[in-house]
Amino acid sequence: MPLLFAGCDVGSLTAEAVLLDDGGIVGAAIMNVRATPTESASAVMEQALCAANRTAAHITSCYSTGYGRFSIPFAAKNVSEISCHGLGAHWVNPHVRGVIDIGGQDCKVIRVDPRGRITDFVMNDKCAAGTGRSLEILSAAIGVSLSDLGPLSLRSSKPVRITNKCSLFMELEVLGALVAKKRIRDIAAGINDAVAGRVASLARSVALPKECAITGGVSKNAGVVRRLEERLDLRFVPLSVDPQLIGALGAALFARREYPGGET
């Protein structure tokens, strides 16, 4: 039976699974989390297997990562998200030397060497500012869905300036902007810029190389991405794989690397 490696990433808001064989990625899935990490993992893995037209019996080895990684019974081992994002992004684009991962409840900045191994990192999981959660609160304050926030903000030419660093104080500033009848697109731009500002602030504590990729759910917000590029004076290296899958991909790569005869 051909070797098939799986990676499962269970986060606070979403869960992902990736299936990898000699030829590359054969199946993947992204979904919102269920009530428990175990349920989330089973469900997302099933979806990925379905997409790959395989069954669980085909899986040679599965590794897990993410917030819920300790609760995944079918995973042989769990690996830190930092390592998985670094290796995963590097595998997709070997030029990558840095990764910024903006997830639902944390933000990580990672440096990798030419082989995709971590050389430095910093993580914020203490303060909601600069995470997806902050965007959730602030977009709700202006009644805009998370998926609309990016495109809307790109239409703004006069972003509202948000000066506070705490998401709940930013929320107050947003309410004030609404009272002052600022345009929603300008507030949206201000929100994305505020989040980008917190991430950039974190990124400066790691000497971030220019060949940097961005991963995680928030990387799909074009407004945040663009403002971050402007603040860090770089252009993110494109990834041909969905940025939300990078963590799970990294876990699958570790599963393959550590399996006897697995590494190609």
Partner 1 sequence: MGNETRMISAGYDVGTRFVKVCVARGGEMAGGASEPVAGDLRGVCRKAFRRACGRAGVSPRHVRRVAATGFGAVHVNGAGACLPVSLCAARGAHALAPAVRTVVDAGGLFLTVTSLDETGQAVDSITNDPCAAASGKFLEMVAGALEVPFEEVSARVQDSASPYRISSTCAVFAESEVISRVNTGADPADILAGVVGSIAGRAATLLEKVQAGEPMVLVGGLARIDAFVRIFEGLTGRQAPPLSPYPGLVPAYGAALAAAGLTGRRWFFLRPHR
CB 223, CB 246: distance < 8 Å: no
Per CB under 8 A, 83 contacts partner 1 = no
Q: Binding partner 1 by CB under 8 A: which of 3, 118, 123, 137? A: 137
Cβ of 24: how many Cβ atoms within 10 Å? 8
Per CB under 8 A, 167 contacts partner 1 = yes
Residues with Cβ within 8 Å of residue 92, at least 6 apart in sequence: 213, 239, 240, 241, 246, 249
CB 224, CB 231: distance < 8 Å: no
Q: Binding partner 1 by CB under 8 A: which of 122, 178, 206, 234? A: 178
Per CB under 8 A, 165 contacts partner 1 = yes
Q: Which DSSP helix (H) or strand (E) runs through 107? A: strand 107-112
Per CB under 8 A, 114 contacts partner 1 = no
Q: Binding partner 1 by CB under 8 A: which of 108, 133, 198, 256? A: 133
Distance separating alpha carbons of residues 221 and 108, to the nearest angstrom: 17
Q: Binding partner 1 by CB under 8 A: which of 9, 10, 12, 83? A: 12
Per CB under 8 A, 94 contacts partner 1 = no
CB 73, CB 39: distance < 8 Å: no
CB 191, CB 136: distance < 8 Å: no
Shortest gap between Cβ of 89 and partner 1 (angstroms)? 26
Distances (CA, A) of 259 to 56, 64, 76, 109, 263: 17, 14, 11, 28, 7
Per CB under 8 A, 122 contacts partner 1 = no
Q: How many chain residues interact with partner 1 (CB under 8 A)?
A: 21
User: What string marks each residue from 54 to 73 as x (binds partner 1 by CB under 8 A) or -?
Assistant: --------------------
Among the listed ranges 85-93, 153-161, 176-184, 246-254, the one in contact with partner 1 (CB under 8 A) is 176-184
Among the listed ranges 18-26, 39-47, 177-185, 213-221, the one in contact with partner 1 (CB under 8 A) is 177-185
CB 81, CB 24: distance < 8 Å: no
CB 75, CB 66: distance < 8 Å: no
Among the listed ranges 90-98, 110-118, 131-139, 226-234, the one in contact with partner 1 (CB under 8 A) is 131-139
Per CB under 8 A, 50 contacts partner 1 = no
CB 12, CB 105: distance < 8 Å: yes
What string of DSSP letters covers 158-201?
SPPP---SSHHHHHHHHHHHHHTT--HHHHHHHHHHHHHHHHHH
Shortest gap between Cβ of 107 and partner 1 (angstroms)? 13
User: Among residues 21 and 186, whose Cβ is nearest to partner 1?
Assistant: 186
Shortest gap between Cβ of 59 and partner 1 (angstroms)? 29
Per CB under 8 A, 105 contacts partner 1 = yes
Distance separating alpha carbons of residues 209 and 249, to the nearest angstrom: 22
Per CB under 8 A, 175 contacts partner 1 = yes
Tell me which residues touch partner 1 (CB under 8 A).
12, 105, 125-128, 133-134, 137, 164-169, 172, 175-176, 178-180
